[in-house]
Amino acid sequence: MLRAVLGHLKRAATAYAVLLGALALTLLAYYYVQQRVENEARYRFDETVTAAQEAIDRRMNSYVDAMLGARGLFPASESVEREEWRDYVEGVNLEDRYEGIQAIGYVRYVSPGEKDAFEDRIAETFSDAGLQSGPVVQPDGERSGYYPVTFVEPFNEVNENLLGQDRYTEPAHRDAMDRARDTGEAEATAKVYVFSEASGDSGASLALVPGIVMYLPVYKEGEPTETVDERRSALDGFVVCYLTTGELFQDIFEEPYEPQIDFEVYDGDDLTPGNLLYEDDAVLRAGEALGRSAGSVSGAIEEATGLPIGEPDGPPGLNRSGKIEVAGRELWVYFEALPGFQVNGQSRLPLFVLLSGFAVSLLLFGITFMLARSRLRAEKAGQDLAEANRELEATNKELESFSYSVSHDLRAPLRSIDGFSQILLEDYADELDEEGRDYLGRVRASSQRMGRLIDDLLGLSRVTRGTMRRERVSLSALAEEVAEGLREANPDRRVEFSAQRGLEVWGDPRLLRVALVNLLGNAWKFTEKESEARITFGMDEKLSQRSLVPVYYVRDNGAGFDMAYADKLFGAFQRLHAADEFEGTGIGLATVQRVVRRHGGQIWAEGEVGGGATFYFTMRPGARLDPAPPREEARAR
C-alpha cells in the first residue's frame, strides 16, 4: 500500500510539483490582490472620512462666521434694533445657505436693576408682533443676572418661543456662555434639545430635537476686554445660534459621500447613545466597535488636531473615529464601512483570482499528469515492442537454421538416389529390361522434382524473411530483363512481349525480380500451346484511378483459368492444371503474393478457361516514385 503510494508519487512527481507551484502562485496572487483591494478600500474609506471631517469643520466655521457677522452689527450702531437684526439674518440668507441653523438670535445680559425696563421693551416687541404677552423673562424668579433672548430670526412659530428665554439657568448653556464670556470666542454647548418644527405627521407644532447651541460674546462698545475680569464686566450679551444636528449633518453627509459608510456624530469622546448627535442609518455601531477594539481606539484618542485618529478595525469592519473641535467643544465622529462598501468595487477580485488560480492549477496538474502517464505508457509500449522484436529475431534465427538444414540435409539423400539410379542405368543397362529402365527413370525424375520443390520452398521462405532493401526500381526495365531471360531459355518459342515504359517504384529489387520472374514465367508457361502468344506488362489507368494506387498487371492470352478457383491460385502447392499438362511446383504465385504483401500491396487475378489470364498487383500507396521517394523503411531482421 505504502509502496504503491510512493510509486505513484514518484511517477507523478512532476505533476505534483507543478500543482504545488501553481497553488503557491495562486495563493501569492490572492494575497497580493486581497491586499490591493483592501488597501484600495481603506484608501477610499480614508478619503471619504477626511473629506467628511473637513466638510464638518468648514460648515461649523461658516456658522461661526455668520455669528461674527452678526456681532459686527453692534459696534456699527449704538444699539441694535430688531429690524436691523432681521435685515441682517435675511441678508445672509440663513435658511438656504446654512441648513441646520434653527435660529440666530441675541441674548442680552440684564442686571436685576434693568429687568423691568427690559421686560417693557420686550412686551412692546410682543405686541408689535401681535403676540400675547406672558411672563417676559422665563423662567420666572429673582436671580443675580438675566440672559433672556432679545431678538431671534427667522421669527416664526417655533422661534418666537425662544423670546425671553433665559437659558443661563441650564448648566449646559451656562457653561457655554461662561466660557464665551471669558474667552471672547464662540463657544458651543454640550448636546442639548432645541425647539424645532415637528416632523409632518406628529400633529404637534413643536418638537425638541438634539442640537447644540453656540454663543459668541458681545462686549460693550469702548470698554477694555484684555483680561477675563475686564471681559466679564464689559459683557453686553451673546450672539446665539441654535443648531439642530440632525438637519445639519444630514445636509453635510448627503451626496457625494459614499453611501456605504455610516457616520455617527457624538458630543464628546464618550460614544454612547446619550451623546449621539447624528446617526446616519439608525443603527448604532460605535459602541459595538469600541467594545471590540476599545484599546486601539481609546489609546489613539490623543491628538487634538481634529485629524482622523484611531486604528481601523480592519476588514470587514473598516472603522475610525476622530474628533472635530467646534467652538470650544469636541465633536466625535465615528465612521464605519458597511458590508456593502467592499462588495462595491473590486472586492470580488481576490475570490475570482483564487478560484481561477485553483482551476488553472488543477488543469496544469491534470495535463502534466497525463503527459507523464502517456510517457510511461510509451516507454512500456517501447519495451514490449523491443521484447516482441527480440522474440521475432529468435524465431527468425530458428527459421533460418531450419531452412539451412532443409537445403543441405534433404538434398544429400536425393542426390544419392539420383546418382545411383544413373549409375545403375549406365553400368547395368544390359541387365535391366525396358521396364526396369523406365522405373529407374521415374525414380530419377521424382528425385529431381523433389530437389526443385525444396529449392522453391527455400525461395518462398527467403522472400518472407530477410531485410527489405528499398531502392528505386524500374519495373519496366525489370520486366524486359526477365522476358529476355525467358526468351533465351526457350529459343524455340515465339512470344510477343510488350512492357509499358517508365514504371518506377520504391522497393526491394531482388524480391520484385522474384515476383516478375514468377508472373512472367507463368504467362510464358501457360501460353506455350498458343501459336501467337502475347504477354503484356503495364499499369491499368482505370483501376489505378478508382483504387487511388497504381495497379500493375501481367496479361497473357494463354490457357487461363476458371474464376471459381481464383481464390486458390495463391496458396502454396495449389495447382489448377494437371502436372503433365503444365509443369511447375505450385509455389510460384504464393511467392509472388508474399512479395507483393511485403510491399504493402495486394494481388488478384482475372481469367477464363482458354481466354487468357491477367494478374493485377498493387504496392503500398506512395511506393510509386513521384516525385520524392518515401523514407526507407528499416525493418529489423
Partner 1 sequence: MEKVILLIEDNPDDELLTRRALKKNNICNEVVVARDGVEALDYLFGTGAHEGRDLGEMPQVVLLDLKLPKVDGLEVLRRVRADNRTRLLPVVILTSSREQQDLVDGYGCGANSYIRKPVDFAQFVEAVRQLGLYWLILNETPRAGG
Binding residues for partner 1 (CB under 8 A): 403-404, 407-409, 411-416, 418-423, 444, 447-448, 450-451, 455, 458
Amino acid identity, residue 68? L
Q: To the nearest whole angstrom, how small is the minimum distance from the Cβ of residue 431 to partner 1?
A: 18
The region that residue 522 occupies, defined by phi over 0 for left and psi between -120 and 50 for alpha, beta otherwise, is alpha
In the chain, helix, strand, coil percent, each to 5? 50, 20, 30
Residue 108's closest CA among 171, 164, 183, 178?
Answer: 164
Residue whose C-alpha cell reads 445636509 in the numeric block: 251
Residue 125's closest CA among 163, 99, 153, 90?
Answer: 163
Q: To the nearest whole angstrom, how small is the minimum distance from the Cβ of residue 453 to partner 1?
A: 10
Nearer to partner 1, 450 or 566 (CB): 450
Q: To the nearest whole angstrom, how small is the minimum distance from the Cβ of residue 490 to partner 1?
A: 19
Q: Distances from the Cα of 381 to the Cαs of 10, 14, 126, 216, 566, in angstroms?
A: 20, 21, 114, 99, 40
Q: To the nearest whole angstrom, how small is the minimum distance from the Cβ of residue 398 to partner 1?
A: 15
Task: Name all contacts of 290-299 with Cβ < 8 Å and 24+ positions apart.
Answer: 290/321, 292/317, 297/321
Nearer to partner 1, 122 or 440 (CB): 440
Question: Is residue 344 within 8 Å of residue 316, measured between CB atoms?
Answer: no
Q: From CA 435, how far away is CA 447, in angstroms rounded? A: 19
Q: From CA 466, how far away is CA 511, in angstroms rounded? A: 10
Nearer to partner 1, 354 or 406 (CB): 406
Grid coordinates belonging to 391: 522474440
Nearer to partner 1, 10 or 408 (CB): 408
Amino acid identity, residue 26? T
Three-class SS state of 18? helix
Amino acid identity, residue 169? T
Residue 276 makes CB contacts below 8 A (sequence gap 6+) with 191, 210, 264, 265, 266, 284
Return phi, psi of residue 297, to 5°. -75, -55
Nearer to partner 1, 31 or 402 (CB): 402
Nearer to partner 1, 421 or 585 (CB): 421
Q: To the nearest whole angstrom, how small is the minimum distance from the Cβ of residue 411 to partner 1?
A: 4
Nearer to partner 1, 241 or 595 (CB): 595
* Per-residue b or e along 185-196, where b marks 16 or more CB atoms closer than 10 Å to that residue's CB: ebbbbbbbebbb
Nearer to partner 1, 372 or 458 (CB): 458
Q: Distances from the Cα of 613 to the Cαs of 193, 537, 602, 608, in angstroms?
A: 127, 12, 17, 7
Q: From CA 112, how far away is CA 346, in angstroms rounded? A: 68
Nearer to partner 1, 447 or 522 (CB): 447
Determine if the peptide bond prior to 256 is cis (ω within 30°).
yes
**CA R_g for the chain:** 61
Q: To the nearest whole angstrom, how small is the minimum distance from the Cβ of residue 475 to partner 1?
A: 23
Nearer to partner 1, 71 or 444 (CB): 444
Q: To the nearest whole angstrom, how small is the minimum distance from the Cβ of residue 515 to partner 1?
A: 18
Q: To the nearest whole angstrom, how small is the minimum distance from the Cβ of residue 474 to partner 1?
A: 23
Q: To the nearest whole angstrom, how small is the minimum distance from the Cβ of residue 633 to partner 1?
A: 21
Nearer to partner 1, 86 or 437 (CB): 437
Q: From CA 177, how far away is CA 235, in angstroms rounded? A: 11
Nearer to partner 1, 191 or 444 (CB): 444
Residue 40 makes CB contacts below 8 A (sequence gap 6+) with 345, 346
Q: To the nearest whole angstrom, how small is the minimum distance from the Cβ of residue 598 to partner 1?
A: 17
Angle, alpha carbons 391-393-398 (nearest 5°): 95
Task: Name all contacts of 443-447 with Cβ < 8 Å and 24+ positions apart.
Answer: 443/417, 443/418, 444/417, 444/418, 447/414, 447/417, 447/418, 447/421
Q: To the nearest whole angstrom, how small is the minimum distance from the Cβ of residue 397 to partner 1?
A: 12
Nearer to partner 1, 48 or 421 (CB): 421
Q: From CA 363, how far away is CA 18, in angstroms rounded? A: 10
Q: To the nearest whole angstrom, how small is the minimum distance from the Cβ of residue 454 to partner 1?
A: 8
Q: To the nearest whole angstrom, how small is the minimum distance from the Cβ of residue 506 to partner 1?
A: 23
